[in-house]
Amino acid sequence: MKFGFFDDVRKEYVITTPKTPLPWINYLGSQDFFGLISNTGGGYCFYKDAKLLRLTRYRYNNCPMDLGGRYYYIKDGDTVWNPGWMPVKTELDSYECRHGLGYSVFTSSKNGLQAVLTAFVPVSDTCEIHRLKLTNQSDAPKNIDLFSFIEFCLWNAQDDMSNFQRNFSTGEVEVIGSTIYHKTEYRERRNHYAVYSVNKPIEGFDTIRDSFLGFYNSFDDPDVVREGKSKNSVAHGWQPIGSHHLKAELAPGKSEEFIFVLGYCENPRDQKFEAPNVINKKPANELLAKYQTSEQAQAALDELHAYWDKLLSTYNVNTADEKLNRLVNVWNQYQCMVTFNMSRSASFYESGLGRGMGFRDSCQDLLGFVHLIPERARERIIDIANTQFEDGSTYHQYQPLTKKGNADIGGGFNDDPLWLVACTYAYICETGDFSILDEPCAFDSDFSKAVPLMDHLRRSFNYTATHLGPHGLPLIGRADWNDCLNLNCFSEEPGESFQTFGPSEGPVAESVFIAGMFVKYGKQYAELCQAQGLEDETADVLGKVDQMIKVVEDAGWDGEWFVRAYDAFSNPIGSKVCEEGQIYIEPQGMCVMAGIGVEDGKAAKALKSVEEKLDSKFGIVLLQPAYTKYHVEIGEITSYPPGYKENAGIFCHNNPWIVCAETELGHGDRAFDVFRKTCPVYLEEISEVHRTEPYVYCQMVAGKDAPTFGEGKNSWLTGTAAWTFTAISQYILGIQPTLKGLGINPCIPSGWNGYTLDRVYRGVTYHITIDNAAGAQKGVACLTVDGVAVPGCVIPAEMVAGKQEVAVVVTMG
């Protein structure tokens, strides 16, 4: 069953009922100010950091699940309704929610009144704009009362949800004209406040939640709305809100538009006040002056559209499959931007209170983002490197506002360091900018110790090279990519966090997955060394990589597939000798991507085993057989019921590793088949089963052992976005940035005749035509650039130097 449709021309997903199986959400904001908005108007916004600078309150795990947001109450006679249906839930005569790139538009109607609510964050301002247009479509005049409503968060969202003995006494506001200023804690250490304003004179306002709602009411029946009159309440403590009361007298056919601005304002510390306890309103006045008219709001929206059009022109493919085109050209890249901005901090499944910018997560997110805005990728790589420790190990996350690492969700995950090599290499392949390697980067945010980024990469590589276990495989530490494989934890008490309890290290437990990473990213590091003229180091690195390949082919090989790990007693995990969890997906993908066993058939065998043992109609499950018992020596992975999360769920993040691996072996048909199964645009028709948004990937789909097989969970913030974009754009469609220039080496289903693609790369637009009349799955028979034949698959950057556009023709065969 579908709950909407894709509008490819406008690059929007159009939701046609408010009653989606889960909140189907969108993100507003490009750089510093962000909002989450659901298809019923739920959600919240924050400046830079979902935990530390949150403007509006949101209660997670609520009942109903999505409650609280930017609510506009329309009172038309005795009927009260909202453009997004929630929270009043009055049955609407029509409803539509269009989630577009950085904006959402709700169009609904009731009793001959139409409301169009457009919400977005301008490209370069720190605010949300809510543009609400009311049109009288009936043939009688209408007198409408309109009430706005948002609930302020007292900035620190964690404290806001827990420390009531303090924060029920701290709330403060000011109201001047049509503007409500939320200034809690501004009198003391904060130099920022929030502003909520509308561009018309108001009838009244409220800032005390209980006055607006009534003490025993929820959002669906506010006293003030029912009575049709604001109380002009001024908050002192408790729960400050912002609500305006406006009136619209609409003759038949007439419209009126209101522009609401919800913004973040900051003052220099020595200019906080204009009079004792009266905040300096200069930044608010400047902000609000920009959005007083419909023309101004429209210009900001047009700027947002232009911003996205330009970004998406970097990679644009035209295949015969329109679903694939919409995924690659729009939605997958859009999700890559969101994961880049949010890491794993704020979604409808990540509360923004727990996780910040994950070290490995953000490094991987860059793989899918670097082509969009390389300058921001550069800055991010440096931010991440600044949190690394001198021995090459890393924090597992840092807070976006402070950019300082913390151990709140544990540390000592031994895959983390190598991901820094992966993203830096991807950045240089995209841009050719080797100068990033000279950038001084701190250790643990101590800039007095800064050394060039290249030295950080060296320490990443060396950390792994010097932390080997009994078999010569890398020690796993707290865990590797799979956070839940906790081989040194041994937790027996409920409530202990698997990520923070127990020792993060152990001298025995090893990871074959990290070994695969060491080979893959070690080779990339060697390329960087070579490009820098470091011959001895190159040879040394490649020697260690070769040695690791031998170890994997020996201790890491189980006969039919790659072993997953060795536990703290040196017993294998992910081996046929195990009772449960005999085969895992991760080492099969990573080792084959690293090129291990490609020549002697081990790679092909491993991928065949994946197909036979792990595949399902909704994707490849993480392991089989699922753990049915809790294993103290294996940790969190065995704590999940079979088929969920890492315990044999379809963990979407690593399905694209198998896609990439299959293309290494030239299996275009199989690669695309794997790609397609978890791809949301192909699941749109079964949205009642899949449940999450059909325009973005989710972290996990319940596996074949689960009672709810096929049900998606944790949409939006997942490394799946970056890895699927890497898999489809580089490995299947074959456009591969390299250090030397743009590589083109497709691996596609034999039934595809070909496709065309535009790719902007290092300032040159490549118009690429792939001809597959031969029905090949892989292989470049001939490659020409502006008619000139190029040997191999890589177009040297020098060849196109000085050109703006080139025409590339690739004949497969």
Closer of 583 and 809 to ligand BGC (Cβ): 583
Q: Which of residues 328-347 bind ligand BGC (CB under 6 A)?
A: 344
Judged by CB, which is closer to ligand BGC: 484, or 674?
484
Q: What is the size of the binding site for ligand BGC (CB under 6 A)?
A: 9
Shortest spacing between CB 360 and ligand BGC, in angstroms: 5
Helix (H, G, I), strand (E, B) or coil at 205: strand
Asked, as a colleague might, if the bond just before 474 is cis with ω within 30 of 0, I would say no
Of the pair 117, 717, the CB lying nearest ligand BGC is at: 717
Binding segment for ligand BGC (CB under 6 A), chosen from 16-24, 250-258, 356-364, 548-556, is: 356-364
Least distance from ligand BGC to the Cβ atom of residue 381, Å: 18
Provide, rounded to whole angstroms, the least separation between the CB of residue 43 and ligand BGC: 21
By CB neighbour count within 10 A (0-12 exposed, 13-18 middle, 19+ buried), where does 295 fall? Answer: exposed
For CA atoms 578, 580, 582, 585, the dihedral sign is negative
Stretch that binds ligand BGC, among 73-81, 331-339, 482-490, 613-621 (CB under 6 A): 482-490
By the rule CB under 6 A, 361 interacts with ligand BGC: yes
Interface with ligand BGC (CB under 6 A), residue from 481, 557, 566, 657: 481
Per CB under 6 A, which region of 192-200, 424-432, 478-486, 704-712 contacts ligand BGC? 478-486
Q: Considering the complex, what minimum distance in angstroms separates the CB of residue 513 from ligand BGC?
A: 10
Encoding tokens for residue 679?
A: 């791809």
Instruction: Find, among 697, 765, 668, 770, the residue nearest to 327 by Cα.
Output: 697
> Number of helices and strands (H, E) in the chain?
20, 43
Nearer to ligand BGC, 439 or 586 (CB): 586
Please identify which residue in 358, 410, 619, 694 interacts with ligand BGC, judged by CB under 6 A: 358
Helix (H, G, I), strand (E, B) or coil at 599: coil
Specify the stretch interacting with ligand BGC by CB under 6 A; choose among 454-462, 477-485, 511-519, 684-692: 477-485
Q: Is residue 483 annotated as part of the catalytic site, yes or no? A: yes
Interatomic CA distance for residues 366 and 722, integer angstroms: 7
Which H/E stretch holds residue 440? strand 440-443
Q: Which residue is nearest to ligand BGC (CB)?
A: 483
Q: Which of residues 641-670 bind ligand BGC (CB under 6 A)?
A: 646
Tell whether residue 777 is a contact of ligand BGC (CB under 6 A): no
Catalytic residue among 76, 365, 483, 567: 483
Sign (positive or negative) of CA dihedral 54, 56, 62, 66: negative
b/e map 195-208, b = 16+ CB within 10 Å: bbbbbbebbebbbb
User: Contact at 8 Å (CB) between 24 and 41?
Assistant: no
How is 156-202 classified by DSSP, letter by letter?
-HHHHTT-HHHHTTT-BEEEETTEEEE-TTTTTT--EEEEEEESS--
Query: Least distance to ligand BGC from the beta carbon of 361, Å?
Result: 5
In the complex with ligand BGC, which residue's Cβ is closer, 219 or 419? Answer: 419
484 binds ligand BGC (CB under 6 A): yes
Nearer to ligand BGC, 350 or 439 (CB): 350
Neighbours of 530 (CB within 10 A): 16
Q: Contact between 636 and ligand BGC (CB under 6 A)? A: no
**Angle at 541 (CA atoms; ends 536, 542), nearest 5 degrees:** 100
Tell me the two tokens of residue 781.
Answer: 């028979």
What contacts 687, CB < 8 A, 6 or more positions away? 1, 2, 3, 20, 21, 694
| Token pair 């200019």 in the structure block, residue | 271
Under the binding rule (CB under 6 A), the answer on residue 698 touching ligand BGC is no
- Selected range binding ligand BGC among 332-340, 358-366, 492-500, 559-567, rule: CB under 6 A: 358-366
Shortest Cβ distance from residue 308 to ligand BGC (Å)?
26
Residues marked active site are found at 483
Positions touching ligand BGC (CB under 6 A) are 344, 358, 360-361, 481-484, 646
